[in-house]
Structure 1
Amino acid sequence: MRRSFYPTKYASLREALSPRFEKASSWVREHRRPLSWVTTLVAVSGLTWTLSTHGGWASLTEAKLTRASYLVMAVLLWPLNLGLEAWKWRKLSSDALGHGTSRSWAVVWKEVLVGQTWALLGPFRLADGAGRLATVDDPRLKSAAGAKAFALGAASQGWATWFFAVPALALVGFGLYAGVLGLLIALVGRWVPMSFHGSVAACSLLRYVTFA
């Protein structure tokens, strides 16, 4: 088989599968409301199961709020956390469409919220990414460009998580492991600015702080 056949073969495969992806996206948009109810049911079921292992719903009446300021802080930081994720997704998805492109904040917020809802159905942010890409209004983002934008955002967030693991390991007395991990983080950090804007990495660090 000639090597020149390979690009043609994969291009043909992509074109053959493209209608199926478009059909799946159309089905998701058509059944968006039932899917929302399903994710809500999953969330309520998970909450019910968790409470059943800790004394049932009656345990809520026994809970006491000792520091109201912590609750207020958590409530205020939650939209900030989502806002940082929305900013990051807007930056990456806009760059995927070409430099100088600025996507609508309203559309970006909708995609992030849908992705967060879908995240209840799957692990490792896979469902989050699927939810966003199924909701995007620009068909160009339904291809590899959108998947790459989401993957870069997820990689940046993962890098931020491991970044904060370094001081955590040092605080509990694992200095050697902290040093090795810090070296790896530094090496990866040299790759990060070349793959996406440095502000995305900074945004990921801030998002981890608000989440933690």
Structure 2
Amino acid sequence: MPLPKPQSYVQTPEQPAPTRRRGWVVAGKVGITLLTLGLLWHSVVADAATAAAWRGLLARALSGAGRGPVLLALLLMPLNWGLEAWKWWRLARHLEPVSFRRSFRAVLVGLTLGFVTPNRVGDYAGRIMELKSRRLDALGAVFLGRYCQLVATVAAGTLGLLYFLLRFYLPAYPAAKLGLVGLTLLINTLVLLPLYHSELLVAAVEAVRPLRRFSRFLAVMPTYPARILTDVLLISSLRYAVFCAQFGLLLLAYGVQAPAGHALAAIAGTFLLKSLVPSLNALADVGVRELSATHLFGLLGEPVLPVLSASLSLWVLNIAVPSAIGLVFVLRLNVLRKRKTPASAPSV
């Protein structure tokens, strides 16, 4: 069955948006702002565990205990989202000419909208609204960026979980160990293959009737050359490394003394388990990550409270704070921007 063609959007000039539509847009922005602020208040202030972790983080940042690691983790926050903006810039300019500044703004808007939507689907809307054309094709581009991040997470996370399984659960079963190593290699191969052969993924979606309507959104994926995909995968790996460094620094700040190699395996396993569980919104990620982190670090003999505090602080730094910053760009977002005829854009 032939694959659907990427969307084309050649449009005629539009009339100015009616006042009623503009009113709905303003109301939507106000609603998103209030909802985001309410969720931030609930998660950072009203929730006892997160509030305690946040106060501990501030105390360590302002005092001698753990000040250096906390400040380093804080300084890595703009680098983290800068790498995500770089990744989106590489993907978006395959569709239309776009600046890095606009890509960074799109990432922050998407983060804020994703904060209040199930499974962070608002991230898609935030990014495509910053484009002037081929907005439906942008859905496939956002999915591609997420998939590259998943590949990096699975590669590191399976190795981390493999370490724990071999050491704590299968120490006396050499045959099972060998089979588990083979299974790890197979999983990583199966996850990596669709990235460079996305036409297989599109064809699979097209073959499943309930999913067939989504195939037109993914049809742009096979048009990305291998060079762009490799670049985006490398950027995703760098961003993953920044996440791990932040978590490690916060663990150090809270007094966790696990050896570096063991701690890295636990961090990688935590991120993998968190990524495999769909969430209702950004708040649901907190429970999944904390449960995974406390269990894995518990196997290493680390107490629960410092690990819990470090994990909650990581969420505050990388999700809560940037989501609040993104509200500024949500309020300035031009939702009713006229879409133009797409110009030819460089593919590298």
Moved over 3 A (4+): 25-31, 56-59, 61-64, 173-179, 193-196
Give the 3-state SS of the residue equivalent to 2:165 in structure 1. Answer: coil
Say whether 1:32 aligns with 2:26.
no
Identity %: 27
Aligned position for 2:38: 41
Q: Identify unmatched segments of 5+ residues in structure 1.
A: 1-6, 12-21
SS at match of 2:119: coil
Note if 1:153 corresponds to 2:152: no
CA distance in structure 2 between the aligned counterparts of 1:64 and 1:183, rounded to whole angstroms:
45
Residue 139 (str. 1) matches residue 120 (str. 2): no
CA distance in 2, matches of 1:57, 1:188: 38
Q: Please say if residues 169 and 178 of structure 1, whose CA atoms lie closer than 8 Å, have aligned partners that are also in contact.
A: no
1:168 is aligned to 160
- Match of 2:100? 105
Contact 1:160 1:205 in 2 (8 A): yes
1:119 alignment partner, SS class: helix
Give ranges in structure 2 of 5+ residues lacking alignment.
8-16, 167-176, 199-223, 245-348
Over residues 166-197 of structure 1, what are the superposed CA-to-partner deviations in whole Å (9 max), with x where a residue is unaligned? 22123213355454133221233243245552
AA aligned to 1:107 is R
Whether the aligned pair in 2 keeps the contact of 1:166 and 1:178 (CA below 8 Å) is no
Distance 2:71 2:121 in 1: 31
Q: Could you tell me which residue of structure 2 aligns to residue 191 of structure 1?
A: 194
State whether residues 84 and 203 of structure 1, in contact with CA within 8 Å, keep that contact through their aligned partners in structure 2.
yes
Relative contact order higher in (CA < 8 Å, ≥ 6 apart): 2
Q: Aligned runs of 1:13-162 on 2, under 5 Å?
A: 27-28=24-25, 31-51=28-48, 53=49, 60=55, 64-65=59-60, 66-97=65-96, 102-133=97-128, 135-141=129-135, 143=136, 145-162=137-154
1:200 aligns with 2:236: no
1:43 positional shift:
1.2
SS of residue paired to 1:95: coil
Cα deviation for residue 62 of structure 1 reads: 10
Q: Aligned in 2, Cα 1:64/1:171: closer, same or farther, shift over 3 Å?
A: farther
Amino acid at match of 1:132: R
Cα 1:57–1:71 shift into 2, 3 Å: closer
Relative distance call for 1:33 and 1:139 in structure 2 (3 A) is farther
* Compared CA separation, residues 59 and 136, structure 1 to 2 (3 A): closer
- Residue 172 of structure 1 aligns to a residue in which SS? helix
For 1:96, what is the secondary structure of its paired residue? coil
TM-score by length of 1: 0.72
> Any conservation in 2 of the 1:169–1:177 contact (CA below 8 Å)?
no
| Separation of aligned partners in 1, 2:116 and 2:30 | 15
Whole-angstrom distance in 1 between the partners of 2:131 and 2:148: 24
CA distance in 2, matches of 1:208, 1:58: 23
More helix by share: 1
Matched, 1:180 2:183: yes
Count of residue correspondences:
183
- Structure-2 separation of matches of 1:159 and 1:58: 30
Report the residue type matching 2:89 in the other structure: R
- Most deviating of 123-132 and 150-159: 123-132
The change in CA–CA distance for 1:29 and 1:58 in structure 2 (over 3 A counts) is closer
Q: Deviations over 1:113-149 (max 9, x none)?
A: 001111211243312112222x3141322x2x01000
**Superposition deviation, residue 67 in structure 1:** 1.6
